[in-house]
Structure 1
Amino acid sequence: MRLIQITDSHLYADKQARSRAGIPWQQFQRVLEAVITERPDVVVFTGDISQDETAASYALACEALSALPCPWFWIAGNHDQPELMAAEHPLLEEVDLEQWRLLLLNTQVVGKPHGELGSVALSALAERLEQDDRPTLIAMHHPPVDVGAAWMDAIGLQDRDAFWQLLSAYPQVKMILFGHAHQAYAQHHQAAGTDIGVYGCPAMADQFLPGAEQFAIDEASRPGYRVVDFNAHEWQTWIERVVV
C-alpha cells in the first residue's frame, strides 16, 4: 500500500495571493500534480490547509483534491477552521487501511500556534488502541518531538510527555506523521520496547530553515511530500521535492 502525506498548503481564497517565498496556490498545484503521478492508495493532509481561514480556501483545496485517484483525509492545523473544513469534506478520526489502521488526531488549540491533545483525547486514543492491535499509523499536525529549531520546538505538542507515556503501552503503533514544521524530519523514538518511526514533511508552501533559533525561511528548499510504502510487516518512507 502507498500512502502519501501532504501538509501546510496555507491557501488563500485568492489564487494569486503571495506568501513569503511563493504563491501558495501554484505551489499546491505543482505538489498535487506530482502526488497524482505516484499512484497513491490513500493521501493524508496533516493540517494548515488555509492561511486566511476562509470557506473559499477550503472549497478551492477540495476541488483540486478531487483529482486524486484515491481516498484522501485531512486534519486541522493551528491555522484552520474545522467547521469550515467539515462542511467541505469529512473530518475523520480513523481510517481502515486493511492490514493497518490510520488514526487522525486533532492537536489544535484554538487561537494558539502550539498543539495539545488534552486528557480527554488521550483517554480516547488509549481506548482505540485497546480495541485493535493491528499495526497503527498516527497522523497529527503538531510535532510530538523536538525538530531542532528552537522557535518551532516551543510551539510543538505541549503534552508530548503524556502522549509518549501512553504509547509505551501499545507496541502496535509503528509510525507517526506530523506537519507544522515545514521541513523534512525522520527519527526513531523508543516506546513500548520498540522503535516508532517519527516523520515530518516538507510544506506544500514555504519551507522553514532547519536548526534555526528564530523563525526563518529556507529559501534553498522546495515544496514536497512524503511517500510511505508499507505491507503487513514493514515500511519504507522518503521525501520527494517539487520544482515550482
Structure 2
Amino acid sequence: MRLVQISDCHLLADPKGASRKGFPLRQLHAVVERARALRPDVLLVTGDIAQDETSVAYRHASEAFATLECPWFWIPGNHDQPELMAECQPFHEEIDLGEWRVLLLDSRISGQPGGELGQRQLQRLASQLEADDRPVLVALHHPPLDVGSVWMDAIGLKDRDALWQTLSPYPQVKALICGHIHQAFAAWQGMVAVYGCPATSDQFLAKSHEFATDEAARPGLRVIDLRGEALSTWVERVDI
C-alpha cells in the first residue's frame, strides 16, 4: 500500500498567480506529475491548499488531484476555508487501508496561524484507537512537536502534550505526518515517528530564528509505503 502526502499548495484563484518565490499552480502540477509516476494507492493532502481562500483555488486543487486516478483526501490548514473545501471534496475522519488505518485530525483554529485539536477531538481519537488495534498513521496540519525553527515552533500545535498523552496507551500508533512547516522533517517522540513534508509551493528555511524561505530547496512530496506493520518513507523533489 502506497500513500503519497502532498502539502501546503497555497494556490490562488489566478492560475498564473505568483507566490514569494514561484508559481503555486505550476508547481503543484509538477508535483502531481511526479506523484503519478510513483503509482500511489491513496493521496493525502495535509492542509493549506489555498492562499487566497477562494473556491476557484480549491477547484484548481481538486482538478489536479483527480488526475491521479486514486482516492484522495484532505484536511484543512490555517490558511484554508473548510466550507469551501467541503464543496469540492467531503472531509473524512478515517481512511481504511486494510492492514492500516489513517486517522485524520483537524488542527485549524479560525483566524490564527497556530493549531489546536481540542478535548472533543482528542476524545474521538481515543475512541477510534480503543476500537481497533490495527497499525495507525495519524495526519494533521500542525506539527505535534518543535521542529527547530523559533518562529515556526511558536505557531505549532498548542495542545501537543494532550495529544501525546492521548496516544501514549496505544502502541498501534506508528507515525504522525504533518504539513505547515514547508520542509522535509523527521523525528521521534518516544516510539512514534513524526514526519513533515515539503510544500508544493515555497520551501521554508530549516533551523531559522525568523521567517525565511529556502531558495535552494525544490517543491516535493512524501511517499509512505505500508507493508504488514512496517512503514517506510522518503521525500521526492521535482524540478520546476
User: Does residue 196 of structure 1 match 2:192?
Assistant: yes
Equivalences for 1:1-244 in 2 at 5 Å? 1-190=1-190, 195-244=191-240
- What is the TM-score when the length of structure 1 is the normalising length? 0.97
Tell me how far 1:66 sits from its aligned partner: 1.0
- Give 1:72 shift: 0.6
Residue pair 2:4, 2:223 contacting (<8 A) in 1 also:
yes
Quick check: 2:100–2:226 contact (8 Å CA) kept in 1? Answer: no
Does the residue aligned with 1:58 lie in a helix, a strand or coil? helix
Q: Residue 63 of structure 1 aligns to a residue in which SS?
A: helix
Amino acid at match of 2:116: E
User: Does the Cα contact within 8 Å between 2:7 and 2:197 map onto a contact in 1?
Assistant: yes
Distance 1:73 1:117 in 2: 19
What are the Cα deviations for residues 43-79 of structure 1, in whole angstroms up to 9, with x where unaligned? Answer: 1000000000001100111111110131010000000
Tell me, yes or no, if the aligned pair for 1:151 and 1:215 is still in contact at 8 Å. Answer: yes
Percent of paired sites with the same residue: 57
Structure 1: any 5+ residue segments left out of the alignment?
Answer: none
Alpha-carbon RMSD: 0.6
Q: What is the total number of aligned residue pairs between the two structures?
A: 240
Shift of 1:230: 1.3
Paired residues of 2:41 and 2:71 also in contact (CA < 8 A): yes
Report the alpha carbon displacement of residue 198 of structure 1 after superposing the two structures with TM: 0.5
1:205, distance to aligned residue in structure 2 (A): 0.2
Q: In structure 1, the residue corresponding to 2:144 is in which secondary structure?
A: coil
Q: How far 1:90 sits from its partner (Å)?
A: 1.0
CA contact (8 A) 1:47 1:74 kept: yes
Instruction: Verify the 8 A CA contact 1:49 1:76 in the aligned structure 2.
Output: yes
Does the 8 A contact of 1:2 with 1:41 survive in 2? Answer: yes
Instruction: Calculate the TM-score normalised by the size of structure 2.
Output: 0.99
CA distance in structure 2 between the aligned counterparts of 1:97 and 1:232, rounded to whole angstroms: 11
